[in-house]
Structure 1
């Protein structure tokens, strides 16, 4: 499970962000800080070592989000950052992109867009974990394309769909042969449930898999998948 730090001076927005994060079972909120200095103190302390993702506002007292992001990079802290702001300032966007943010959310944002940002983070993390000790150019190109840091476009696969991950899921589905749930795929393949849903949607669109709803679960209906 990915550990999240929320940095937001508005208590209401901080609460909404935490609720959005907690709706995704692959994430948990470890702490909420009200300003950048408080966040840095936490991240550089022993409790902050396991933080994977920081969701941070731009405009805050004591130390704003951009300056905090610079300090995170200067201290070589091993966490990714999603920036949040109410201002659509191109200069701020450019500066934070240069500092390597995963995504940039402009308030007010929809729940679905927030989840897309989390999915980008997970896709990035899983791509690094899937890398071999020796990487090749195609792997680097696909990773950079997924991050949106370059204008490399795969002519066959849409943005956010990685060839290695796609082939992994296709091979799994072929070997299974019958109907499987998204949770089964997630558990046996080792990918997050959000990533599995994203790839299954693509395979459904391209008619490589079939899907039907299972109402005999005794609770909430679940989606079943099999190769077409």
Structure 2
């Protein structure tokens, strides 16, 4: 079991990341720490494999903490999860040894990709005391080929319903919308609408973002310009 420490001062975001980890097989959250100055003492005594770290933290920011983790040779890997999107922060994170960098708000699929890639790399790393060049190349340069588009609608989706969903999206005229917005507009359940929106995001017709506001974070969607052609084979 891969032990994960979440370092996040926003309780809502920390809980969301904990829920994400809970969905991932082979991972467990050992603790959520809100104060960055408490991380180093915790790492001295606790067994932790992976740290999910925010940058914008009071007192000691995430990059300072990451640098100190490396200075102390702590045997942990770190993924940055932060709203910091400027080149300087990203470059420093890479130089200090972050293995991935997620910019808030992010989609669950990107989170899943990051932790599963880490799991795969870690598995290869601990299985061998020595690695061939081929082993090392596959570890350093994992395949990044995009999944091919499905030849037909996924099971459970229908052309008639997709057409209704598409018309409701077109009526938004490029404005962002939520699952609930489209459910109200089409009189289709939110569970069903969510399946269609995930499919439309997968084929790159919609852009999906996670919005943090008051209460529970919600997914927002918006059509991508010039992507109408990707939908035509399914209508």
TM-score grouping bracket, smaller chain normalisation: 0.5 to 0.7
User: CA separation in 2, counterparts of 1:120 and 1:53?
Assistant: 12
User: CA separation in 2, counterparts of 1:134 and 1:85?
Assistant: 35
1:143 and 2:128 aligned: no
Of 131, 137, 144, the match for 1:159: 144
1:189 paired residue number: none
1:30 paired residue number: 30
User: CA separation in 2, counterparts of 1:134 and 1:20?
Assistant: 33
1:43 and 2:9 aligned: no
Q: Is the 8 A contact 1:8 1:32 kept in 2?
A: yes
Helix, strand or coil at the partner of 2:141: helix
1:21 and 2:18 aligned: no
Give per-residue Cα distances to partners, 1:15-61, cap 9 Å, x unaligned: 100000111121111111112211112112x2x2x100000100101
2:2 paired residue number: 2
Shift of residue 135 of structure 1?
A: 2.6
Q: Is the 8 A contact 1:102 1:120 kept in 2?
A: no
Q: Is the 8 A contact 1:51 1:79 kept in 2?
A: yes
Give per-residue Cα distances to partners, 1:121-159, cap 9 Å, x unaligned: 10110111232x33322222222213xxxxxxxxxxx33
Report which of the two structures shows the higher radius of gyration computed on alpha carbons.
2
Helix, strand or coil at the partner of 2:15: helix
Query: Normalising by the residue count of structure 1, what TM-score does the alignment of the two structures yield?
Result: 0.61
Shift of residue 100 of structure 1?
A: 1.6
User: CA separation in 1, counterparts of 2:97 and 2:84?
Assistant: 19
Of 90, 106, 109, the match for 1:109: 106
- Rate the CA distance shift 1:139–1:71 in 2: closer, same or farther, 3 A: same
User: CA separation in 1, counterparts of 2:67 and 2:135?
Assistant: 28
Q: Is the 8 A contact 1:35 1:64 kept in 2?
A: no
User: CA separation in 2, counterparts of 1:135 and 1:122?
Assistant: 17
User: CA separation in 2, counterparts of 1:140 and 1:26?
Assistant: 23
Q: Is the 8 A contact 1:58 1:83 kept in 2?
A: yes
Counterpart mapping for 1:1-228 below 5 A: 1-44=1-44, 46=45, 48=46, 50-131=47-128, 133-146=129-142, 158-159=143-144
What is the total number of aligned residue pairs between the two structures? Answer: 150
Q: Which runs of 5+ in 1 are unaligned?
A: 147-157, 161-200, 206-228
2:222 paired residue number: none
CA RMSD of aligned residues (A): 2.2
